[in-house]
Amino acid sequence: MKAWVGSGAGADVRFELTDFPMPVPAPGEVLVRVQAAGINRVDQYPTGSHFRHSPPAPAAIPGIEAAGEVVEIGHGVEGMRSGDRVAAMVQGGCAEFVRMNAALAIPIPADMRWSTAAALPVSYLTAFNAMMMLGRLPPSGSLLVHAVTSGVGIAALQLAVRYGAAIIMGSSTSPQKLERLRALGLHLGLADPYAGFADSVLQQTGGKGADLVLDNIGGSLLNETMRCTALGGTIVNIGRLGGINAEIDLNVHAVRRIRLLGATFRSRSLEEHASVVQGFLADHATSLADGTLAPLIDSVFAFDDLPAAVARSLQREQLGKIVVERTG
Q: Tell me what pLDDT residue 136 has.
A: 97
- Answer with the one of 216, 232, 262 that is the final residue of a domain: 262
pLDDT at site 85: 99
Residue 34 belongs to a domain: yes
- Asked whether 69 and 85 are in contact (CB, 8 A), the reply is yes
Tell whether 277 is covered by a domain. Answer: no
Whether 221 shows a pLDDT value over 80: the answer reads: yes
pLDDT higher than 80, residue 87: yes
Q: Do 132 and 252 have their domain in common?
A: yes
Confidence of residue 288 (pLDDT cuts 50, 70, 90): very high
pLDDT value of residue 54: 77
Report the distance separating Cα 167 and Cα 161, nearest Å: 9
The predicted pLDDT at position 284 comes to 98
d(CA 152, CA 158): 10
pLDDT digit string, tens, across residues 137-193: 999 999 999 999 999 999 999 999 999 999 999 999 999 999 999 999 999 999 989
Q: CA-CA distance, 92 to 17, in Å (whole number)? A: 13
**258 and 130, same structural domain?**
yes
Average pLDDT of span 121-142: 98
In a domain, 275, yes or no: no
Residue at 273 is within a domain: no
104 with 149, same domain? no
> Can you give the pLDDT at residue 177?
97
- Domain of 303, CATH number, reads 3.90.180.10
Which helix (H) or strand (E) segment holds residue 277: the answer is: helix 270-290
Cα–Cα distances (Å) from 183 to 110, 152, 178, 187, 200, in that order, read 28, 17, 10, 9, 20
Is residue 211 domain-shared with residue 320, that is, in the same domain?
A: no
Same domain membership, residue 107 and residue 224: no
The band of 328, judged by pLDDT with boundaries at 50, 70 and 90, is: low
In this structure, is residue 218 part of a structural domain?
yes
What is the tens place of the pLDDT at every residue in 19-75?
999 999 999 999 999 999 999 999 999 877 778 777 878 889 999 999 999 999 999
Which residues are 95's β-sheet partners? 3
| Domain shared by 14 and 39, yes or no | yes
Q: How many domains does the chain have?
A: 2
Structural domain harbouring 303: 2-120+283-325
Q: What is the mean pLDDT of residues 265-288?
A: 96
At residue 52, the pLDDT reads 74
Measured torsion, CA atoms of residues 110, 17, 308, 244, in degrees rounded to the nearest 10 = 90
pTM of the model: 0.96
Instruction: Name the band, by pLDDT with cuts 50, 70 and 90, for residue 241.
Output: confident
Same domain, yes or no: 70 and 18: yes
What tens digit of pLDDT does each residue of 247-276 get?
899 999 999 999 999 999 999 999 999 999
Do 59 and 135 belong together in one domain? no
Q: Is residue 166 part of a domain?
A: yes
* Whole-Å CA distances, 198 to 201, 218, 326: 5, 14, 45
DSSP string, 26-48: PTTEEEEEEEEEEE-GGGGS--S
pLDDT at 231: 98
- Please state, for a pLDDT cut of 70, what percent of the chain lies above it: 99
pLDDT surpassing 70 at residue 235? yes
Do 243 and 153 fall into the same domain? yes
**How far apart are the C-alpha atoms of 116 and 109, rounded to whole Å?**
11
